[in-house]
Amino acid sequence: MPRLVLASTSRYRRELLERLRLPFDVARPEVDETALPGEPPQALAVRLAEAKARAVARVLDGDGWALGSDQVADLAGRALGKPGHREAAIAQLRAMSGGAVRFHTALCLAHPDGRALAAIDLTEVRFRTLTDAEIERYVDAEQPFDCAGSFKSEGLGIALFEAIDNRDPTALIGLPLIATCALLRQAGFALP
């Protein structure tokens, strides 16, 4: 079986990939994640997933594959990044309160010889109308500062929603495993 390297230091992606019970290494991709002027959220996610995978694939020896992923929260065509701190998380959740946010989660599996396989998953999250007190309680309890959209759907963040519409429940956490499995099978990995 070929070598697999996760081109991400995200603990969420690592934990999801571990579910597949494949051996893999982890490498930090050296990629500038700044959006290009006027770049739509979906295009940003696709570009960054590919850039991460290719950056790591370039340094692989032999028959390895690098798996890159990126997720961009899209609020009415505006990309929301990771908040980084409490005030930004509160502001993001206030902006999303009572509305819908689309999450574009892109994947790229890249080989050192230049081959690449790609997929994208779309998840729509509809938020309840949230009070400032609810937002502050949530942010203080879960501190989702490293999560696009300022919430953890696998944790207490689920209480913020009216509904989630998607094909793959793991996509919202950061790595759509259904699409990941399909790409890995295409690349020659043995999965159930």
Task: Say which CATH number the domain at 89 has.
Answer: 3.90.950.10
Torsion over CA: 50, 53, 56, 62 (sign): negative
Closest CA to 97 of 162, 183, 187, 27: 162
Per-residue model confidence (pLDDT) at position 153: 83
**Domain contains 146:** yes
Higher pLDDT, 106 or 63: 106
Residue 192 in domain: no
Write down the pLDDT at residue 62.
77
Catalytic residue among 70, 74, 121, 168: 70
Domain interval for residue 56:
3-186
**Six token digits for residue 81:** 């990044």
Q: What pLDDT score was predicted for residue 1? A: 80
H-run or E-run covering 60: none
Residue 162 counted as domain residue: yes
Distances (CA, A) of 110 to 23, 135, 161: 17, 39, 35
In a domain, residue 142? The reply is yes
Most confident of 58-72, 79-93, 124-138: 124-138
pLDDT band per the 50, 70, 90 thresholds, residue 133: very high
CB count within 10 Å of CB 134 equals 15
Residue 143 covered by a domain: yes
The dihedral over CA atoms of 89, 92, 94, 98, expressed in degrees to the nearest 10, equals -130
In a domain, 191, yes or no: no
Annotation marks residue 165 as catalytic: no
Please check whether residue 133 lies inside any domain of the structure: yes
pLDDT at position 155 is: 83
Q: Give the C-alpha separation, 81 to 154, whole Å.
A: 18
Count how many domains the chain has: 1
pLDDT at residue 69, as a whole number: 96
